[in-house]
């Protein structure tokens, strides 16, 4: 095997990837280029950067990927109403291909011949990173330390860190595996591994519990253009600002928490808790506007592909022909998904109270229970006769058979 001179590593600043910097240098005698992705999580970037250098990285990139994350990853998923297993808005799954893509570019820029990540051998994230590596840069080697080294637990890692003089932050003793970005925070592991145990209230970072939410409801209006959120209460906001703003409003009303047992791609079920406050509002508002503006056939067909689209993201197939094909379809459906939706937020609930669009297909004169001039009720008889013809024929046969017995 040819020697690896330089490795590009997706670095988070946590204990795992810090240990990995040192381990890669020791085991591969390679230079490590560390990339930290800013996806909107709360971090002290310069501290992370200096930590990476101190731990042994020869070059460190801090990449602000927030806008790209929203526009090129979150919004396509939103337009498709992607929701994994009817609950999970895919915050982690959407971030991985973007991190991996940027890492590949950095590897190329620096003539690195391998890519490394800190995902364990038991989860989905390794698959998402590596499928992206494979499709974008099949020539690069992949190093997944968790699948190679002998460290088996957090304790092992801490011992390794101490032995190698890697400083350990206080937060390193954290009782959960947390993944945070602009779209969501996810929690797994620790006491959550018991699916009967309820999460500790102190765990949540983006939302209050419904009990702690204000006693008065908050109203919010979200405006979308071609399926993309543009304004909140008539105020135009940048993509990043818009999500941050909605996170605050929804979080303070206790909205966007989900607790689920999900099926991982690698086979096991796992219990996860998520907070996606702003995303929950956007998901509901977008769907509502589609109800108003899409014709029935398109709406129903689109509902069939949503779970498939979500599964594809979950399984790491973002950079795949099927996703591009779905996007082409979805984009055509979004041409008239323009308008606004009014929501009432109250103690963990997001209640739709009104919707409006210049392209509305809703016609009050057709739907009304009052007298109308556009719909002839007599037409319904012929329609029902023909629509029900197969059932009439079947009904006759069943009646005849019943008599035979």
Residues that bind ligand ARG (CB under 6 A): 92-93, 124-125, 177, 179, 186, 188, 272
Between 172 and 331, name the residue whose CB sits nearer to ligand ARG: 172
CB of 2 to ligand ARG, least distance (A): 31
Nearer Cβ to ligand ARG, position 178 or 352? 178
> Which among 96, 128, 257, 323 is annotated as catalytic?
96
Active site residue 96: yes
- Minimal distance in Å, beta carbon 55 to ligand ARG? 19
Distance of alpha carbon 363 from the chain centroid? 35
- For every residue of 289-313, which 3-state class applies, written as one string? HHHHHCCHHHHHHHHHHHHHHHHHH
Tokens encoding 330 = 């979805």
Total count of residues recorded for the chain: 405
Q: Which is closer to ligand ARG, CB of 186 or CB of 207?
A: 186
Buried (b) or exposed (e) across 273-294, using 16+ Cβ within 10 A?
Answer: bbbbbbbbbbbbbbbbbbebbb
Let me know if 64 is a catalytic residue: no
**Minimum distance from CB of 54 to ligand ARG (Å)?**
23
What is the Cα–Cα distance from 34 to 60, expressed in whole angstroms?
5
Active-site residue, from 18, 22, 125, 186: 125
Is 16 an annotated catalytic residue? yes
Q: How far is the CB of 305 from ligand ARG (least distance, A)?
A: 20
- 360 flagged as catalytic: no
Q: Name which of 88 and 326 has its Cβ closer to ligand ARG.
A: 88
User: Shortest approach of ligand ARG to residue 119 CB, angstroms?
Assistant: 6
By C-beta, is 177 or 360 nearer to ligand ARG?
177
Q: Which string of b and e fits 81-100 if b means at least 16 CB within 10 Å?
A: bbbbeeebbbbbbbbbbbbb
Q: Are 103 and 35 in contact (CB under 8 A)?
A: yes
- Residue ranges of alpha helices (H) inside 69-136 are 75-79, 91-109, 125-136
CA dihedral 371, 372, 378, 381 (to 10 degrees): -90
Catalytic residue among 16, 51, 257, 355: 16
CB of 16 to ligand ARG, least distance (A): 9
- Tokens for 65? 């990927």
d(CA 128, CA 315): 7
CB nearer to ligand ARG: pick between 57 and 94: 94
Q: Which residues pair with 220 in a beta bridge?
A: 343
Token reading at 146: 């968790």
> Which run of H or of E encompasses 31?
strand 31-38
Beta carbons within 8 Å of 335's beta carbon, 6+ residues apart: 226
List residues bridging with 350 in a β-sheet. Answer: 345
> Annotated active-site positions, please?
16, 96, 125, 177
């Amino acid at each position: 095997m040819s020697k690896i001179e330089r490795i590009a590593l997706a670095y988070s600043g946590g204990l795992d990837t810090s240990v990995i910097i040192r381990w890669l240098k020791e085991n591969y005698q390679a230079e490590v280029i560390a990339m930290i992705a800013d996806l909107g999580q709360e971090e002290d970037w310069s501290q992370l950067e200096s930590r990476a250098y101190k731990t042994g990285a020869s070059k460190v990139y801090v990449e602000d990927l927030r806008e790209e994350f929203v526009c090129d990853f979150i919004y396509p998923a939103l337009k498709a109403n992607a929701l994994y297993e009817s609950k999970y808005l895919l915050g982690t799954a959407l971030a991985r291909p973007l991190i991996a893509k940027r890492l590949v570019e950095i590897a190329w820029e620096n003539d690195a011949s391998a890519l490394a990540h800190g995902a364990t051998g038991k989860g989905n994230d390794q698959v998402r990173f590596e499928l992206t590596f494979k499709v974008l840069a099949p020539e690069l080697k992949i190093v997944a330390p968790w699948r190679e080294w002998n460290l088996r637990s957090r304790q092992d890692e801490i011992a390794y860190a101490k032995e190698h003089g890697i400083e350990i932050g206080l937060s390193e003793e954290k009782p959960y595996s947390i993944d945070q970005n602009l779209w969501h925070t996810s929690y797994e592991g620790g006491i959550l591994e018991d699916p009967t145990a309820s999460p500790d209230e102190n765990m949540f970072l983006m939302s209050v519990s419904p009990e702690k939410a204000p006693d008065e409801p908050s109203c919010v209006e979200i405006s979308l253009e071609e399926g993309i959120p543009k304004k909140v209460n008539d105020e135009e906001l940048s993509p990043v600002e818009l999500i941050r703003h909605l996170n605050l409003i929804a979080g303070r009303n206790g909205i966007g928490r989900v607790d689920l047992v999900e099926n991982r791609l690698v086979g096991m079920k796992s219990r996860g808790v998520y907070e996606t406050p702003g995303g929950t509002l956007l998901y509901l508002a977008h769907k509502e506007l589609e109800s108003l503006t899409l014709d029935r056939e398109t709406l129903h067909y689109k509902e069939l592909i949503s779970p498939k689209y979500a599964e594809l993201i979950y399984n790491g197939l973002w950079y795949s022909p099927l996703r591009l094909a779905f996007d082409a379809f979805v984009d055509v459906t979004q041409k008239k998904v323009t308008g606004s939706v009014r929501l009432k937020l109250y103690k963990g609930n997001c209640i739709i109270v009104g919707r409006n669009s210049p392209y509305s297909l809703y016609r009050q004169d057709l739907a009304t229970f009052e007298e109308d001039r556009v719909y002839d009720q007599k037409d319904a008889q012929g329609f029902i006769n023909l629509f029900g013809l197969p059932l009439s024929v079947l009904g006759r046969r069943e009646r005849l058979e019943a008599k035979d017995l």
